[in-house]
Amino acid sequence: MTEKIALLVDSAMDLPPEIIKKPGVYVIPLSVIYSEGAYIDKVTITSKEIYARLDDEVPSTSLPDGESISKILDKIYNDGFNHLIISTISGGLSGTNNMLSLMVRDFPQLTTTVIDTKSIGIGGGLQGAYAKELIDRGESFEKISEILKESVQKSRVFFSIPTLEYLKKGGRIGLVSSIFGTALNLHPVISCNEDGIYYTVNKARGRKKSLEKMLGQVEKFLGSDSSYDLAVAYGNCVDEGKELAETVKARFTHFKHFYFDEVSPVLGVHTGPGVIGIGILKRD
């Protein structure tokens, strides 16, 4: 049987738009829940709308429901695919990975691998983009699965946020100390540990120093590697994001792919306005 391989990611992976447009790529959206109703991440609500309403209400978020997952799995199969790579944000931050792992058991007609990226946002998005590259390259399903599992530890995401208020309200504070905050003008650099849980990498006083420390973490992680993919993501601070993107590209010149985009509404709920981050994926 010829392997026809599709890629399914969740919307909080922030898979680059140019990858989403490719055939055989599917996105299952999370939801943003306000008191008056639910919105579909990136479909019926935007990040800008999230930030505009934060002073009035901080919404909650929820993983995809079973019906939505069944529908998209049916569509993937009906579109002619018999193999499926599922790549999700960290299982330590969301139940999405576990939900999809359970749901695919009802679809034995799809040979499936579920990857927990142990990351979030563009950190996971880079892994998803690499998955699609491997599929388009014609690698076997077995080899792609093996490479992607190994790539989890070759990926990092670092981001700076001006306040931990929203991580705390959303229950996503992880191992980050909630004493950091605007009162001390502390802008911690946050990442995900090996279990995919938020933790503090650096503490810095002020945004400029925070971004400098974040760049230092990227340099430390890359070491002597000369082949990697990079991305910069921003929330409600596009000019600052563009400036950081140019700095990243000038400082780390051996990237094969570079992506730049706004964070998803779901991520915006938990980080609040002003989040800015860098994703890295070491390539083989």
- Checking DSSP bridges between strand 111-116 and strand 83-88, what pairing results, if any? parallel
Shared domain for 95 and 191, answered yes or no, is no
Which of 125, 152, 179 is the endpoint of a domain?
152
Residues 6+ positions from 233 with CB-CB distance below 8 Å: 14, 121, 122, 159, 241, 260, 261, 262, 263, 275, 276, 277, 278, 279
CATH number at residue 129: 3.40.50.10170
CA distances from 30 to 10, 97, 264 (A): 7, 12, 10
Give, in degrees to the nearest 5, the angle at Cα 24 between 22 and 28.
Answer: 95
Which of 111, 134, 152 is the endpoint of a domain?
152
Count the Cβ atoms, other than its own, within 10 Å of residue 227: 12
Beta strands per DSSP E along the chain: 5-10, 25-28, 31-34, 37-40, 60-62, 83-88, 111-116, 155-160, 189-192, 198-202, 228-234, 255-262, 276-282
Shared domain for 59 and 43, answered yes or no, is yes
Task: Read off the pTM.
Answer: 0.93
pLDDT per residue rounded down to tens, the chain (284 residues): 699 999 999 999 999 999 999 999 999 999 999 999 999 999 999 999 999 998 899 999 999 999 999 999 999 999 999 999 999 999 998 999 999 999 999 999 999 999 999 999 999 999 999 999 999 999 999 999 999 999 999 999 999 988 777 676 655 555 455 544 445 677 888 899 999 988 888 888 888 999 999 999 999 999 999 999 999 999 999 999 999 999 999 999 999 999 999 999 999 888 888 999 999 999 97
Please tell me the total count of domains within the chain. 2
CA-to-CA distance for 284 and 282, rounded, in angstroms? 7
Shared domain for 137 and 76, answered yes or no, is yes
Which amino acid, one-letter code, is at 209?
K
Give the full edge-to-edge strand order of the sheet including 276-282: 198-202, 189-192, 155-160, 276-282, 228-234, 255-262
DSSP state of 28: E
- Domain with 20 in it: 5-152
CATH number at residue 265: 3.30.1180.10
Least Cα distance to 268 among 72, 45, 44 occurs for 45
Which of 89, 123, 152 is the endpoint of a domain?
152
Shared domain for 102 and 163, answered yes or no, is no
CA-to-CA distance for 91 and 102, rounded, in angstroms? 13
